[in-house]
Amino acid sequence: QVQLVESGGGLVQPGGSLRHTCAASGGGFRNYHAGWFRQAPGKEREFVAAISWSGDSADYADSVQGRFTISRDNAKNTVYLQMNALEPEDTAVYYCAVDRRSFYVVRDGSEYDYWGQGTQVTVSS
């Protein structure tokens, strides 16, 4: 069992930056791929970014490529999402998640086993 606790959301102006942190407890985190997803009001949950268990590979949605960076520190059982050049379209609840089973990082949220509680990001002037 892995518990995920997120922090770092908030209100930011367009063009600004935020960093999400997802702290894991319960063991095994360093062996699992991790990902970030988001859900805007009235929309389905969508993939944002994912990182392999080792941190050697990452994948990004086209909409955030070049603006967002996912990283992890397995010594601290933590995964991060650095968000730069934020746009109003990035407004959503952001969730971190852990995938125990996939061999490669995947974008399908149904493959992820554990989820954080979600944190709100609002990009507005």
pLDDT digits (tens, 9 = 90+) for 11-27: 999 999 999 999 999 87
Structure tokens, 110: 């149904």
Q: Which residues fall within 8 angstroms of residue 4, CB to CB, at 6 or more apart?
A: 22, 23, 24, 96, 97, 98, 114, 115, 116, 117
CB 106 within 8 A of CB 60: no
**Share above pLDDT 90 across residues of the chain, in percent, rounded to a whole number:** 93
Structure tokens, 44: 């389905």
CB 9 within 8 A of CB 119: yes
Structure tokens, 86: 């934020």
How does pLDDT run across 73-98, given as a tens digit for each residue?
999 999 999 999 999 999 999 999 99
Q: What is the pLDDT of residue 21?
A: 96
The chain-wide mean pLDDT, for the chain, equals 95
